[in-house]
Each structure stands twice: as structure tokens, then as C-alpha cells.
Amino acid sequence: MLTKSQIATFRRRGCLAVEDVVPQDLRDAVEDEYATVLRKFAQAQGIAWRGGFLPTLRAVHEAGVDWFQHLDITLPGDRIAADTPFHYGPAVHALLTAPALVEIAAQIVGPEVTSNPIQHLRIKPPAVTVAEGAPAHITHTLWHQDRAVARADADDTKMVTIWVAMTDATPENGCMVALPLDPDQDMLPHCPLEQTSIPPELLDEARALPLPVRAGGIVLLDPMIPHAARDNVTDGFRWSFDLRYQRTGQPTGRAHFPAFPVRGAPAPDWKTQRDAWRAARADAAARAHIPLHRWDSTSPHCA
């Protein structure tokens, strides 16, 4: 739970790093689950197991294999096919429904909380190993507001992002950076650059606040705060999850993806939620693509 002082700081700045939130046993369960998924995936690529999840992922990555979507916990923003991969298992579900995270979310959005489907695995390899055109989720993250990368129906939804560190996040390996909220913070224009992001001329990056946190800690982000993540300039991998929670009953900004209650109503079991994602995938594959973002090249400041 957050203290009154922490809540006040979050309300004022729009961001807050909190240490020691996700227990080691849950993080171990998530890593064990991903090790099982990756072992099978690596074997299919002819890559031997290297004794653990991150060492094997390094081997897969350095072999030039496109691995991200096979491990992500949601469907992608581009065209979805009937066999587009994703991963949703019991340990991932346990993380999304972890009481420590849910109770903190309730302190921000209110007592009835829903797991919003705009969420991702985040694993950033060393920048020198990332090829041009790699998925945005494994390279630096450009400046954006979370409100802006949801669709406009969720503009009034009470929401909070909880970024969960699975490994230590430091300035060297690309921890989150944020621009503290202005008192009258507006939504800034975003443009379809290499990622949907705020044009650099609209930001004063000299004000950027780094948000390092140790494994098991979290970073809370208001949906209006501009934030980014730098390149990982170390030799190791930085691993996290980007989760989002909202007030139940309000629009999610992804109506075609499945949300579910985590507080105030019974949460589904993990298989039910996995099957909801499978049904969303089948539906998306059978109809016209729904763009996830509202911005295009005709938007203000994008010419």
C-alpha cells in the first residue's frame, strides 16, 4: 500500500517509483513460466537451452530470431492473423492479479478495479545488438503519454500504469524517464514516427526525471505524464512488465481486446482470460484491422 505522502507525490508529479512491491516468489514463478515457453520456442529454432531464461533469450536474440511477439502478453498493434502468437499463462495472470499491485491501483483509481488490456512484456537487450527496425518494445521508447496511445473513447477513464521491474532498472540499462506533470497538463500531439510519439520540439527534456528501481519494485505513471525509456547501453538485458489498471465500467481504449475485473468483482481464472484473448485474436483476424492509435501523418505538428 502507498502512504499518504507517496500518494501526494504521485498526484503532484504524475510518477512515483516504489521499491519492494512484487515478491520474489511471484517473480520466480513468472521467470519459470517464461523459461518453459522459451525452451520450446528456442528448440523450434534449433537453438540449445543455455541454462536459464535470459541466457537462452540472449542466444535467440543474437541468432537474429524475431522473438518478441511470441513472449508478449497481448496482441500487437499491426494486422492480427489467426495464428499471431502471444503468451498468457497462470504466472502472468497471477502477476496481473497480484494483491500488492491491485491494492495500489485501487488507491489511485478507486475501489472497483479492472485490468486494462493495454499492457506488454518489456525486455530490452543491449542496444548494440538491436537491429534497425526491431519492435519498439525491445528498443528505446520514445516520448509519449499513455492516454494518447489509447483510443479517444478512454480519454476520461480513471487509469494508472504500473511498470513492474523484473530486473534492476538503471539509467544505464534504459530505466523510465518522465517529465513531471504540469498543473494544467494537456494531451500533446503525437506523430507516427518510428513509434507513435510526441515531436521532440514540444518537450523540454532537460526537465526529465529518471526513475530507477530495483527488481521487484514498480513505477507508477499518470496517463497524462510524458515519459520515455532510453537505450540499454549495458551488456545485460532489462526485463519488465508494463501493466495498466482502470476504474471498472469505464472505456478501456481497446474495446476489441479483453479486460477483466481484479477488485470489486471476481476475477476470471487464467484459462478463461487466455481464451478471451484467443477469441479476440480470431475475431480480429476475421475483420478489418482496427488501428490502435488515433494519430496519423495529418495530425498537428506531424507535417
Domain membership of residue 95 (yes or no) is yes
Of 108, 98, 115, residue with least CA distance to 21: 98
Domain that holds residue 124: 4-285
267 CA to centre of own chain: 20
Sign of CA dihedral 114, 19, 56, 269: negative
In this structure, are residues 140 and 134 in contact, taking their beta carbons and an 8 Å threshold?
no
Once rounded to an integer, what is the mean pLDDT over residues 168-192? 90
Q: Does residue 303 register a pLDDT over 70?
A: no
Residue 80 has pLDDT above 90, yes or no: yes
In tens, the pLDDT along 198-229 reads 888 889 888 999 999 999 999 999 999 999 99
Residue 298 covered by a domain: no
Residue 290 lies in a domain: no
Can you tell me which residue has the cell 485474436? 281
The reply to whether 281 falls in a domain is: yes
pLDDT of residue 198: 87
Contact present, 51 and 257 (Cβ < 8 Å): no
In this predicted structure, the answer to whether residue 5 has a pLDDT above a threshold of 80 is: yes
Domain contains 217: yes
CA 221, CA 219: separation in Å to the nearest integer?
A: 7
Q: Dump pLDDT digits (tens) for 11-65.
A: 999 999 999 999 999 999 999 999 999 999 999 999 999 999 999 999 999 999 9
The mean predicted confidence, pLDDT, of the chain is 93
| Residue 291 in domain | no
Share of the chain above pLDDT 70, in %: 98
| Distance (Å) of CA 78 to CA 72, 109, 149, 292 | 14, 30, 14, 8
Residue 195: which CATH number? 2.60.120.620
Kindly state whether residue 160 falls inside one of the protein's structural domains.
yes
Whole-model pTM above 0.75? yes
Domain count, the chain: 1
| 62, part of any domain | yes
Condensed to tens digits (0 to 9), the pLDDT of residues 251-295 reads 999 999 999 999 999 999 999 999 999 999 999 999 998 887 777
- Place 140 in a pLDDT band, splitting at 50, 70 and 90: confident
Residue 81 is placed in which grid cell?
492473423
